[in-house]
Chains A and B, each alone.
Chain A
Amino acid sequence: MDALMTQLEALLADNSIFTLQTLSYYTEGLTVTVQLVFLSLLIGLVLAVPLAIGRSSKRGWIKWPIFAYTYVFRGTPLLIQLYLIYYGVVFVDGIQETWLWVILEDPFMPALIAFTLNTAAYTTEIFRGAIKSTPKGEIEAARAYGMSTNLMLRRVVLPSAFRRALPAYGNEVIFMLHASAIASVVTIMDLTGAARFVYARFYAPFEAFLFVAAIYLCLTFAILYFFRYLEKKLLAHLQPMS
């Protein structure tokens, strides 16, 4: 490790912008971006499953409020949602006296909440589409076996719906990675935040932003290949024969 560091130092010796110092901003930014994206996707996924089931329900009082939620969150820019939560949370009466304030004071939390709500809305619609396209025969078969609705959902509908939703969900993950760049707008030092800092300090837009663009490109490809691998594994029965 030490040998590697000295090598890196030698390599960077005559570079005035990419010093070890600025590279450490980028690595810290990478950690923040990955944390933010991973956590919001994870929580969003957990929220989206029951919401998608509710959204496919025949009962209006379950279906319509969820539809309204997804419509609003998919129809407005994420930036507005972030602003609303980031600037708005201060004005909730008495919140600054409660324990919640300790968490919400850090811009990371409002960003995480906004991203989670946003991805949950998109994921809900993706899953709803997948649930809706469950072949009727499978549901009839489950009913014929005397399965309750819960058991049918757990054993028949959801497992196949998850598989069908996989390609669209992969796109959502990439979309979320790209959307997370706006976290830098509310002073979070994510990858883009680091790039903006380096740009402002050295007035070097090409170096700062091209470098960060390359990192995002690598991350995007990593996600793409991961989902391709998953699809190969889980959707093997849908691949062309040859």
Chain B
Amino acid sequence: MIDLHGYGPRLLEGAGVTLSLALLSLLVAILLGLLTATAKMSRSWVAHRTATLYTTIIRGVPDLVLMMLLFFGGQIGVNIFTDWLYYQFDIDIFININEFVAGVVTIGLIFGAYMGETFRGAFMAVEHGQIEAGKAYGMSNALVFRRIRFPQMMRHALPGLSNNWMVLLKTTALVSVIGLSDMVRIAAEASKATREPFTFMITVALIYLLIASASEWFFARLQKRYDIGYGEAD
């Protein structure tokens, strides 16, 4: 077995951080993605332009640069805001940006743009007649969304969604650079302390592969579920 020099529990803790960070960011990204997709399909010129600007900029700049901008800049931005609150309204608060929250928000913001594109394509693939049928039954817009558009959209969105999730999972490794103790950072620390980089890096790589394979299996099952009512592709 691999000798982890007592770093095993911390590495496992780090894996927990990575996984919870990834899952929470995924949630933020999905919500933002739905919002972006709706904005992109809306008839409002402002909503459409804003969403396009958001996806274009996010997808044109490296993740790490965005992360540093939001993480290092975020604190200064918040400080400026709280100072302003103090001088204007005499409200004295101090907000300290938590690394974990910053990580979740940043990764969610980045992948919200990618999810937006995925969802937009998937929403457009849902037949219009389905929506009309729902309306004809007297369903409200929200009910049409929940019962008709969302489940059918998911069938088309799942391949893209699973792809985005895999990239997102790997992107979480970058938070180690801005100081979050995920498993990559702990492995890097352990490598330096024990002078055995291969042991720790390969262990972490294996954990990533494990999560990736598990997700593949999970998404395959989910796809099967959302494919109910549709025949096999060939």
Binding site for B on A (CB under 8 A): 71-72, 75-81, 83-84, 87-88, 91, 177-182, 184-185, 192, 195-196, 199, 205-206, 209-210, 212-213, 216-217, 220-221
Contacts and interface: CB of A to CB of B under 8 A. Distances in A.
A74 to B, nearest CB: 8
Given A80-B173, A80-B205, A83-B188, A205 B68 contact: yes
Interface stretch (B9-17, B69-77, B131-139): B69-77
Given A75-B209, A205-B72, A181 B60 contact: no
Closest 3 CB pairs of A and B: A77-B173, A181-B62, A87-B197
A84 B205 CA distance: 10
B95 interface: no
Given A205-B69, A205-B76, A84 B62 contact: no
B197 A83 contact: yes
Contacts, number: 113
A179 B212 contact: no
B73 A72 contact: no
Given A78-B170, A181-B65, A83 B201 contact: yes
B101 interface: no
Contacts of A209: 65, 68-69, 72-73
Given A182-B64, A205-B68, A88 B205 contact: no
B73 A181 contact: no
A76 B59 CA distance: 21
Nearest to B57: A217
Interface of B: 57, 59-66, 68-69, 72-73, 76-77, 166, 170-174, 176-177, 184, 187-188, 191-192, 195-198, 201-202, 204-205, 208-209, 212-213
A216 B60 contact: yes
Nearest to A79: B173
Given A88-B197, A205-B73, A181 B202 contact: no
A183 to B, nearest CB: 10
Q: Which of B60, B76, B208 gathers most chain A CB within 10 Å? A: B60
A91 B68 contact: no
Nearest to B206: A76
B57 A79 contact: no
Given A80-B208, A209-B69, A212-B65, A217 B198 contact: no
Given A72-B209, A206-B69, A213-B65, 13 more contacts: A71-B209, A75-B209, A79-B184, A83-B197, A87-B191, A87-B192, A88-B197, A179-B62, A192-B64, A192-B65, A199-B68, A205-B76, A213-B69
Nearest to B202: A84
B181 to A, nearest CB: 15
A161 B203 CA distance: 37
